[in-house]
């Protein structure tokens, strides 16, 4: 949907005008969202309903992700985890999209995409280690093509195009999927990547998680665009806008985009419309820039409880099997935490490891200097 330019937020608007444009903005946000399961539990696209196994698999992965997020907070408060960016409330956006990949595909996550990385199979213990600032969290598993969480904004996007192109040149059917935030989609790298992917027909799936905020900057201050999926059109790509809190919907559209990319149909941009109900990081105080009234409605759109209600209603899940699933998820996490606890602290010289395949003469000397320093 488009808005006439005079209904967009502008500096110097009257309070009334601002309220009207706010309402138009909210309406624009809600318009044209692809859904399978509405927030009230109604199945709006019964024809696209995945089978019960898939529903249960997605639910299980969302529970694993949610559990990580919740335990992560506790561990942070106990000083057993470092500062990390929470993603609770965005599980459908991350799990549904990542679940559409296989282990042969590439995943380019940002720092907020712990849930996506776990879904593809990044071990929980490694993920904990990463957020404990341990080098053990940097060693990526050999059996997966997942990259360490990207800290600079948007740099992963052009790289995903390159990985996708390489797969195509090698004659595989593998694809690359990359995440970005609404804020990140302002960076030049985002636009260059979309243009490259289209021009070079790279088998790429671009996920734009529109969670409403880039630290303190709301999306409506980030860009005049309301429907970010429409950006795809400027580069000749299909763009899809999906309810980011409906895991069945995110899974469905991503699976389709992945399939199209595998079959030579080229890249797709998917905007998942969701919300960052939590602070930017565990150390952030969102009350400085937004009100609880704004966030509250989004807590009611919780993606995990939405699918849970549906599964209970249809009998795919009952209270007992749900409790059993939760116990399994918790046990898996505690075992991983125990494993992470066994990782030793890094030794000083590790700072200089892995800079080059073969350390340069300078690095060798610096290593000797460093060891002499710490021993002295």
Partner 1 sequence: MVAAINDALDMALARDPDVHIFGEDVGVMGGVFRATDGLQAKYGVDRVFDTPLAEAGIVGMGIGMGLAGLKPVAEIQFAGFLYPALDQILSHLGRFRHRTRSRYHLPMVIRAPYGGGVHTPEQHADSPEAILAHTPGVKVVIPSTPADARGLLLSAIADPDPVFFFEAIKLYRSVKEEVPTDYVTVPLGKARHVTRGDDVTVVCYGGMVEVATRAAEAAGAAGIGVEVIDLRTLVPMDTDTVLESVEKTGRVVVVTEAPRTGGFHSEISATIAEEAIEFLRAPIVRVTGYDAPYPPFTAIEDVYRPSAVRVARAIRKVMAY
Judged by beta carbon distances under 5 to 8 A according to partner kind, the member of ligand TPP, partner 1, none in contact with residue 52 is: none
Q: Assess whether 276 carries a catalytic annotation.
A: yes
Taking the C-alpha atoms of residue 258 and residue 265, their distance in angstroms, rounded to an integer, is 9
Chain residues binding partner 1 by CB under 8 A are: 11, 82-83, 111, 132-135, 151-154, 183-184, 186-189, 214-217, 221-223, 288-289, 345-348, 350-352, 355, 360, 362-363, 366, 370, 373-374, 376
Give the separation between CA 112 and CA 280, rounded to whole angstroms.
9
Query: Residue 205: in which H helix or E strand, if any?
Result: strand 204-210
Which is catalytic among the residues 63, 126, 241, 276? 276
> Is 66 one of the annotated active-site residues of the chain?
no
Q: Which of 60, 80, 191, 289 is catalytic?
A: 289
112 contacts which partner out of ligand TPP, partner 1, none, CB within 5 to 8 A by kind?
A: ligand TPP
Reduce the secondary structure of 289-348 to three states and give it as a string.
Answer: CCCHHHHHHHHHCCHHHHHHHHHHHHCCCCHHHHHHHHHHHHHHHHHHHHHHHHCCCCCH
Q: How many CB atoms lie within 10 A of CB 361?
A: 7
Q: Which is nearer to ligand TPP, 167 or 302 (CB)?
A: 302
- Residue bearing tokens 């636009």: 191
Q: Which of 290, 292, 299, 282 is nearest to 90 (CA)?
A: 299
Nearest residue to ligand TPP on Cβ basis: 181
Q: With beta carbons less than 8 A apart as the criterion, state whether 113 and 87 touch.
A: yes
Stretch that binds ligand TPP, among 45-53, 148-156, 199-207, 312-320 (CB under 6 A): 148-156
Which of ligand TPP, partner 1, none does residue 366 bind (CB under 5 to 8 Å by kind)?
Answer: partner 1
Rank residues 158 and 303 by Cβ distance to partner 1 and give the closer one: 158
Q: Are 266 and 198 in contact (CB under 8 A)?
A: yes
Residue of the chain from 126, 220, 231, 276 that contacts ligand TPP (CB under 6 A): 276
Distances (CA, A) of 255 to 101, 230, 309: 8, 20, 23
Chain positions 175 to 214 lying near ligand TPP, rule: CB under 6 A, are 181-184, 211, 213-214
Residue 104 near residue 145 (C-beta atoms within 8 A):
yes
Site for ligand TPP contains 286 (CB under 6 A)? no
- Residue for token pair 């595909």: 105
Instruction: Indicate whether 112 belongs to the interface with ligand TPP (CB under 6 A).
Output: yes
Query: CA angle 108-111-116, nearest 5°?
Result: 55
Reported as type and span, the H/E element at residue 208 is strand 204-210
Residues 149-178, mask of contacts with ligand TPP (x by CB under 6 A): --xxx-------------------------
Catalytic (active site) residue 275: no
Minimal distance, residue 278 CB to ligand TPP, in Å: 10
Q: Which is nearer to ligand TPP, 58 or 277 (CB)?
A: 277
Q: Which of 80, 230, 262, 280 is catalytic?
A: 280
The distance of closest approach from Cβ of residue 114 to partner 1 in the complex, given in angstroms and rounded to an integer, is: 14
Which entry of ligand TPP, partner 1, none binds 15, CB below 5 to 8 A by partner kind?
none
Q: How far apart are CA 223 and CA 176, in angstroms?
A: 26
By beta-carbon proximity to partner 1, the closer residue of 79 and 315 is: 79
Q: Which of 65, 163, 167, 157 is nearest to 120 (CA)?
A: 65
Beta bridge partners of 241: 271
Using the rule CB under 6 A, is 231 a contact of ligand TPP? no
Measured from the CB atom, is 20 or 374 closer to partner 1?
Answer: 374
Distances from the Cα of 56 to the Cαs of 120, 130, 177, 240, in angstroms? 16, 29, 23, 25
Q: With CB cut-offs between 5 and 8 Å by kind, which of ligand TPP, partner 1, none does residue 276 bind?
A: ligand TPP
**Taking CB under 6 A as the rule, does residue 63 contact ligand TPP?**
no
The residues that are catalytic are 276, 280, 289
Q: Binding residues for ligand TPP, per CB under 6 A?
A: 112, 151-153, 181-184, 211, 213-215, 276, 280
């Amino acid at each position: 949907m488009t808005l006439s330019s005079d209904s967009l937020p502008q500096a110097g608007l009257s309070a009334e005008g601002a309220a009207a444009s706010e309402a138009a903005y909210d309406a624009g946000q809600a318009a044209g969202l692809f859904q399978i399961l509405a927030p009230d539990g109604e199945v709006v696209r019964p024809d696209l309903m995945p089978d019960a196994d898939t529903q249960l698999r997605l639910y299980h992965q969302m529970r694993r992700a949610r559990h990580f997020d919740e335990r992560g907070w506790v561990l942070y408060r106990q000083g057993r985890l470092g500062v990390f960016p929470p993603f609770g409330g965005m599980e459908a956006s991350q799990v549904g999209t990542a679940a559409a990949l296989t282990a042969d595909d590439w995943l380019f996550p940002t720092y907020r995409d712990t849930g996506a990385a776990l879904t593809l199979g990044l071990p929980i213990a490694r993920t904990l280690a990463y957020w404990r600032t341990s080098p053990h969290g940097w060693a990526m598993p050999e059996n997966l093509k997942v990259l360490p969480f990207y800290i600079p904004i948007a740099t992963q996007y052009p790289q995903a195009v390159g990985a996708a192109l390489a797969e195509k040149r090698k004659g595989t059917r593998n694809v690359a999927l990359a995440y970005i935030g609404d804020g990140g989609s302002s960076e030049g790298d985002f636009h260059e990547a979309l243009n490259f992917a289209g021009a070079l027909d790279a088998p790429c799936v671009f996920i734009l998680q529109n969670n409403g905020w880039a630290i303190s900057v709301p999306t409506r201050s980030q860009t005049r665009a309301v429907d970010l999926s429409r950006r795809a059109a400027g580069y000749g790509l299909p763009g899809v806008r999906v309810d980011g809190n409906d895991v069945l919907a995110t899974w469905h559209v991503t699976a389709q985009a992945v399939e199209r990319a595998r079959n030579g149909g080229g890249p797709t941009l998917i905007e998942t419309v969701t919300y960052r109900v939590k602070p930017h990081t565990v150390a952030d105080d969102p009350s400085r820039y937004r009100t609880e009234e704004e966030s509250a409605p989004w807590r009611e759109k919780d993606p995990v409880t939405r699918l849970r209600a549906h599964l209970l209603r249809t009998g795919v899940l009952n209270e007992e099997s749900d409790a059993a699933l939760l116990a399994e998820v918790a046990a898996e996490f505690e075992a991983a935490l125990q494993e992470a606890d066994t990782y030793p602290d890094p030794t000083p010289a590790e700072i200089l490891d892995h800079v080059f395949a073969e350390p340069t003469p300078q690095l060798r000397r610096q290593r000797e200097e460093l060891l002499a320093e710490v021993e002295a």
